[in-house]
Copies of this chain bind each other. A is one copy, B any other.
Amino acid sequence: MKILIVPNLRKDGAAGHTREVIRRFIELGCEVTLGEQFSYIFENSGARFGNYSTELSRADMIVAIGGDGTIIHSAKDAVTADKPILGVNLGRLGFLAQLELQDLGLLGEIVAGNYRTEERMMVKATRVLPDSRRERYYALNDIVLSKGALSRMVDLDVRCQNEMVGAFRADGLIFATPTGSTAYSMSAGGPIVDPAIDSIVMTPICPHALGSRPLIFAPEKVLSVNQRIVNYTDKLYMTIDGEQAVMINPEDKIEIKRSTRRVKLVALDRRNFYEILSDKLSSRG
């Protein structure tokens, strides 16, 4: 079994924990690789180093070591290569990591194939420019359209299957997957959606219309968003999974729909979703 390991070395103790994961996989007879940028730090670990893209395509499984952010980032690479991903948690309690450090003994089960994979929906945003060029973005958590720091608000028209859903004046709009319903959307007042239901959650951020509520759209629906210009100094940004930001011009149109790509999370049924949720809710802050 070929394992590609992607560690987030900014986490405390990440190098040591990664070395331990490498050691265990090698003992279990796996071939372990990392991107060549890690060769210096993990030399003599028994792992091989190579070009990240090449190793991604050759791996049987991606193992991301870090927090939920690390796993989200790597999951999008894993999905492109159609590989399953396993998260080893170095951060605070997370929804996506399946293994805590004290559970490394379970790596044997995984190598033996005793696991199932859980598919997670992704959302795709297409930015349609005035000259009809299309830029595509993929998110596992959320696509956020929001005002610039010095703008007062954005004014967005949202359509679903070309029918008007509403004109929203707000600090922004969050389009979240069920996976993302426990992230930024939750802070903005959104509901928590069972990852087993494909759907798109649209949560307004500080809506000026007080009655605004989160809306849950069926997964086959195509949403589109246009900026209604009130004031040219109001800037609009699109943020993808909180890690990439694009400035959107007033003439651009954004389309939001379910991606055909699906993340495959290695799942071990150790803790249920609601148990993690309950722990997170009482510890957040």
Kindly identify, within residues 236 to 285 of chain A, every residue whose CB is under 8 Å from any CB belonging to chain B.
Answer: 237, 239, 242, 245, 272, 274-275, 277-278, 281-285
C-alpha gap A221/B272 in the complex (Å): 14
| Docked-complex contact B281 and A210, CB < 8 angstroms | yes
Contact of A187 (CB < 8 Å), options: B170, B190, B282:
B170
Given contacts A192-B215, A215-B191, A275-B163, contact A209 B284 (CB under 8 A): yes
- Would you call B205 and A206 a contact (CB within 8 A)? yes
Using Cβ atoms and an 8 Å threshold, which residues of chain B touch A50? none
Within 8 A of B (CB), among A136-175: 146-150, 152, 160, 163-167, 169-171
Q: Is A110 an interface residue (CB 8 A)?
A: no
Digitize A182-206: 1 where CB-to-B-CB distance is under 8 Å, 0 elsewhere: 0010111111111011010100011
Question: Known contacts A160-B274, A282-B282; is A207 also within 8 Å of B187 by CB?
Answer: yes
Residues of chain B lying within 8 A (CB to CB) of residue A170: 187
- Name the one of B166, B186, B215, B274 contacting A194, with C-beta atoms under 8 angstroms: B215
Question: Which of B201, B206, B245, B274 interacts with A164 by CB under 8 Å?
Answer: B274
- Enumerate chain B residues within 8 angstroms of A277, measured Cβ to Cβ: 166
Cβ contact within 8 Å between B191 and A190: yes
29 contacts between A and B (CB under 8 A): A146-B149, A149-B237, A150-B237, A165-B274, A166-B274, A169-B285, A171-B171, A171-B187, A181-B216, A186-B210, A187-B206, A187-B207, A187-B210, A190-B191, A190-B213, A191-B201, A191-B215, A192-B213, A192-B214, A192-B216, A194-B199, A194-B216, A199-B199, A206-B206, A209-B284, A210-B210, A210-B213, A212-B285, A282-B283
Those 4 A-B pairs whose CB atoms lie nearest each other, nearest first: A209-B285, A210-B211, A191-B214, A196-B218
Besides A170-B187, A191-B191, A197-B197, 7 other A-B contacts (C-beta < 8 A): A167-B285, A193-B215, A205-B206, A208-B284, A208-B285, A212-B281, A282-B285
